[in-house]
Chains A and B, each alone.
Chain A
Amino acid sequence: MSTRDITIVGFIIVIAAMFTLEFLARRPGSRIPTVGQWLGYLMRPRIGRVLVLLGWWWLGWHYFAR
């Protein structure tokens, strides 16, 4: 297994972990917040809202305009 493969597997593991967390968070009575919940929490102050929306726009620019 090359180092490139290890890198790719690392990304897959982390992203799969995030999907697993989201799945676990959606179970009734779960203490883990969903992505929507913790993003909503971060977006309560105006600055958090601006930064999260800027991050969203940056992702679009980074992947679709570059």
Chain B
Amino acid sequence: MATNDIPGGDDRVGRRSGFSLWPAHRRNRVRTAVIGVVLVGYAWAAGATEPFSTISLVFVLIPGVILAAIAVAWPPQRIPPPEKLDTTGMFYWVIAVAALFEWEASAWKDDSLPWHPSLTDLINPLLGPHIVKSAAILLWIMVGWALVRR
């Protein structure tokens, strides 16, 4: 009897016809969701640590080591950088960044917390609530990933 053309066992329709029964975009969505849940959990745990503690340092070291390893060993597809930048357009950024550094440096140089607080002095109290600190850590990790892709 000629039964070779009957699909069965591993010879499923999806594999034979060239399309997957578990489409790539669904697989990617599941993977992204899992990574998202892990990152939120990680940020929540990291946000609960005490400043100046070893465990808080470890929580900051781990993303750095993982992203460095990914960047070196398994680099993702990178977003191509521009060949050159418009000088005038870039100059606006240089002014803004220089102004920020100058404003920050003057606070640091004068050690003048009461009347000229540094950006750190202003941001640290905002990071007090657990949820805010965790959200900031999550944002920091995502920025790190965005940089690895650049």
Contact = CB atoms under 8 A, between A and B. Distances in A.
A14 B96 contact: yes
A56 to B, nearest CB: 5
B89 A40 contact: no
A38 B2 CA distance: 65
B143 A33 contact: no
Contact of A7 (B116, B127, B137): B116
Interface centre among A36, A39, A61, A64, by most chain B C-beta atoms within 10 angstroms, is A64
Contact of A11 (B92, B103, B150): B103
Mostly, the B contact residues are helix
B40 to A, nearest CB: 15
Contacts of B90: 32-33, 38
Contacts of A38: 85, 90, 93
B81 to A, nearest CB: 3
B136 A63 contact: yes
B137 A60 contact: yes
A41 interface: yes
Interface residues of A, number: 39
Contacts of A49: 71
A65 interface: yes
Contact of A30 (B60, B89, B114): B89
Given A4-B115, A17-B96, A37-B85, A53 B71 contact: yes
Interface in A37-53: 37-41, 43-44, 49, 52-53
Q: 8 tightest CB-CB pairs across the interface, nearest first? A: A40-B81, A32-B89, A31-B89, A3-B115, A31-B86, A40-B150, A57-B64, A65-B60
Interface of A: 2-4, 7-8, 10-11, 14-15, 17-18, 21, 25, 30-33, 35-41, 43-44, 49, 52-53, 56-57, 59-66
